[in-house]
Amino acid sequence: MITGFLAHFGRYLLMLKQMFRRPESSKVYWKELFHQCNEIGIGSLWIVIIISLFLGAVTTVQTAYQLVSPLVGVELIATIIRDSTFLELSPTVTCIVLAGVVGSKIASELGNMRVSEQIDALEIMGINTHTFLILPKILASIFVIPCLIVLSMFLSILGGYMAGTMSGILNPAQFEMGLLIEFVPFNLFFGLIKAFVFAFLITSVSAYFGYYVKGGALQIGRSSTKAVVVSCVLILLADYALAALLL
DSSP for 135-181 reads HHHHHHHHHHHHHHHHHHHHHHHHHHHHHHHHTTSS-HHHHHHHHHT
Residue 54 lies in a domain: yes
pLDDT tens track for 155-213: 999 999 999 888 888 888 888 888 888 888 898 999 999 999 999 999 999 999 999 98
Which amino acid type is present at position 225?
T
Domain count, the chain: 1
Residue 18 lies in a domain: no
Residue 138 lies in a domain: yes
Residue 195 vs residues 82, 113, 166, 186, 239: alpha-carbon distances, Å: 17, 28, 31, 14, 10
pLDDT tens track for 65-79: 887 666 667 888 888
Which residues in the chain come in under a pLDDT of 70? 1, 22-26, 68-72
Which residues lie below 8 Å from residue 146, measured CB to CB, with a gap of 6+? 192, 195, 196, 199
Residue 82 lies in a domain: yes
Domain that includes residue 186, residue range: 27-65+72-246
pTM of the model: 0.91
Residue 7 lies in a domain: no
Residue 152 lies in a domain: yes
Residue 235 lies in a domain: yes
Residue 13 lies in a domain: no
